[in-house]
């Protein structure tokens, strides 16, 4: 069809309908790349009328992914792209940025709703690297100060390339900020005294200070998701008080060094609405002298949450510590653990015994994940068999849920080659090798 004929038909279609068509043709990605081979630029190259309609459809231009090493982007200036979005909130993903892009982004910062920044690694040379890091810090602070409508901020840094002389960056979040994700570089959030913030999701994977984290909790009572990765030994938090996080539903705490950080941190929080809990201590081993590690059990006892998912990997807990934790979460439906979880004295308490007068621990469990090797993998097989084939009267008496899935990271062949497990799989049991 010729262009003139196409324009005749298009002129009879209201621009509002065409705007919806353009919006529907956007890529699935949250941050479309500025490529002439994809929408919305591709649509604008069909003919003059289509281009005019695309320019008049601002929601086509509210998100963009910029890669500083993508020279093809020069065909469409960033400023022009963002101007087409008019006054709508915008989302920007910036990776390996060149300098000129920063000023353009700052000029549109008041409209930022989501901003994902991957910092460019400093060039060789300590002085230049130090300058680059400081430039990044200054840019981030400027964005956070100007972006009053910012709801989501992600910063991915490169800690191994940051000069030691680089100061710890300090950021003050805006009131509307809902999600923060810091990976790689340490940071420090500052808050106005006696002021609460609307932060709901916090992801920190760069060795935060426990005191700083507790400080964040003090100012962000609406937090419902918190993923924390402690790194090097940071010492005890200063004893103060227990903070009750009324809206926290998901928390994951990981660390790869001694317990001097995490145990006291857990002692200072209460999570009454917690549903998903992950404790990752894969580099920590139980105390050889048998010393107990009660911090997790104390948290569960203090919080009394209706927990649905519990995953524990590694750590200094003893058998009694683990059993105490499992007794405190009778409603858990998804349970995962490694060596200690599948240790005979522990996993036996998860087995269903038709002749017993007591219910097994975690009777509502539907999914079990083996996160580490077992000295005797048949312990897992025996527990699965007891859960799958228990008598209907026992299941009704103790309200035992049907075990529907077993996830395995280690020694999967023992389960997959076991005749009983093979039979259960034919009957509907799902075995997933991770």
Residue 286 φ then ψ, to 5°: -60, 150
DSSP string, 132-157: HHHHHHHHHHHHHHH-TT--EEEEE-
Q: Is the residue at 257 inside a domain?
A: no
pLDDT higher than threshold 80 for residue 356? yes
Across 41-45, 102-106, 159-163, 335-339, least confident range: 159-163
pLDDT at 109: 94
Reported for 190-197, long-range contacts at CB under 8 A and 24+ positions apart, including other chains, are 191/215, 191/216, 191/219, 195/219, 196/220, 196/221, 196/222, 197/173, 197/222
| pLDDT greater at residue 66 or residue 239 | 66
pLDDT higher than threshold 60 for residue 363? yes
| pLDDT greater at residue 244 or residue 6 | 244
Predicted confidence band of residue 23 (pLDDT cuts 50, 70, 90): low
pLDDT at 126: 44
Q: Is the residue at 160 inside a domain?
A: no
Q: Is the residue at 404 inside a domain?
A: yes
pLDDT at 381: 96
pLDDT higher than threshold 50 for residue 227? yes
**What is the rounded end-to-end Cα distance, in angstroms, of the chain?**
53
Tokens at 246, concatenated:
């009324």
Number of folded domains that form the chain: 1
Q: Is the residue at 429 inside a domain?
A: yes
| pLDDT greater at residue 410 or residue 415 | 415
| pLDDT greater at residue 72 or residue 91 | 91
Highest mean pLDDT among 46-60, 148-162, 199-213, 403-417: 403-417
371: which residues sit within 8 A by CB, 6+ positions away? 311, 313, 336, 337, 338, 341, 409, 410
Residue span of the structural domain in which 404 resides: 342-434
SS3 label, residue 222: coil
Q: Is the residue at 124 inside a domain?
A: no
Q: Is the residue at 433 inside a domain?
A: yes
CA dist 197 and 144 (Å) reads: 14
Q: What is the mean pLDDT of the chain?
A: 83
pLDDT higher than threshold 70 for residue 124? no
Q: Is the residue at 1 inside a domain?
A: no
| pLDDT greater at residue 359 or residue 165 | 359
pLDDT higher than threshold 70 for residue 29? no
| pLDDT greater at residue 43 or residue 410 | 410
The residue-averaged pLDDT of 46-67 equals 81
pLDDT at 367: 98
pLDDT higher than threshold 60 for residue 254? yes
237: number of CA atoms within 13 Å, CB side?
A: 22
Q: Is the residue at 286 inside a domain?
A: no
The residue-averaged pLDDT of 180-194 equals 83
pLDDT higher than threshold 90 for residue 312? yes
C-beta of residue 220 within 8 angstroms of C-beta of residue 179: no
């Amino acid at each position: 069809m010729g262009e003139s004929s196409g324009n005749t038909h298009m002129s009879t279609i209201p621009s509002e309908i065409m705007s919806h068509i353009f919006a529907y043709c956007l890529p699935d990605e949250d941050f479309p790349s500025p490529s002439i081979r994809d929408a919305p630029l591709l649509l604008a190259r069909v003919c003059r009328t289509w281009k005019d309609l695309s320019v008049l459809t601002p929601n086509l231009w509210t998100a963009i992914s910029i890669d500083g090493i993508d020279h093809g982007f020069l065909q469409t200036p960033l400023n022009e792209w963002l101007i087409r979005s008019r006054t709508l909130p915008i989302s920007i993903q910036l990776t390996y940025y060149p300098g000129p892009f920063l000023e353009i982004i700052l000029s549109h910062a008041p409209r930022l709703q989501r901003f994902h920044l991957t910092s460019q690694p400093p060039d060789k040379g300590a002085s230049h690297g130090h300058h680059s890091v400081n430039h990044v810090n200054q840019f981030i602070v400027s964005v956070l100060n100007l972006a009053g409508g910012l709801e989501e901020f992600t910063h991915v840094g490169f800690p191994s390339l940051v000069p030691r002389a680089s100061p710890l960056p300090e950021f003050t979040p805006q009131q509307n900020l809902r999600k923060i994700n810091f990976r790689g570089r340490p940071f420090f959030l500052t808050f106005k005294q006696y002021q609460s913030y609307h932060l709901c999701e916090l992801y920190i994977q760069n060795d935060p200070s426990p005191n700083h984290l507790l400080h964040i909790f003090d100012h962000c009572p609406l937090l419902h998701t918190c993923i924390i990765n402690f790194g090097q030994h940071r010492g005890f938090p200063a004893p103060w008080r227990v903070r009750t996080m009324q809206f926290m539903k998901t928390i994951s705490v990981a660390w790869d060094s001694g317990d001097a950080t995490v145990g006291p941190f857990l002692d200072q929080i209460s999570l009454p609405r917690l549903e998903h809990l992950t404790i990752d201590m894969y580099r920590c081993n139980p105390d050889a002298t048998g010393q107990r590690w009660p911090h997790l059990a104390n948290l569960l006892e203090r919080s009394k949450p209706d927990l649905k998912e519990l995953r524990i990997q590694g750590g200094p807990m003893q058998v009694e510590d683990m059993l105490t934790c499992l007794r405190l979460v009778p409603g858990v439906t998804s349970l995962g653990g490694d060596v200690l979880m599948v240790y005979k004295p522990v996993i036996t308490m998860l087995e269903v015994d038709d002749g017993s007068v007591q219910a097994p621990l975690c009777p509502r469990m539907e999914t079990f994940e083996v996160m580490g090797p077992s000295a005797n993998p048949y312990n897992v097989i025996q527990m699965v068999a007891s859960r799958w084939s228990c008598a209907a009267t026992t299941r009704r008496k103790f309200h035992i849920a049907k075990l529907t899935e077993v996830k395995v990271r280690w020694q999967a062949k023992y389960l997959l080659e076991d005749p009983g497990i093979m039979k259960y799989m034919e009957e509907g049991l799902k075995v997933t090798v991770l």
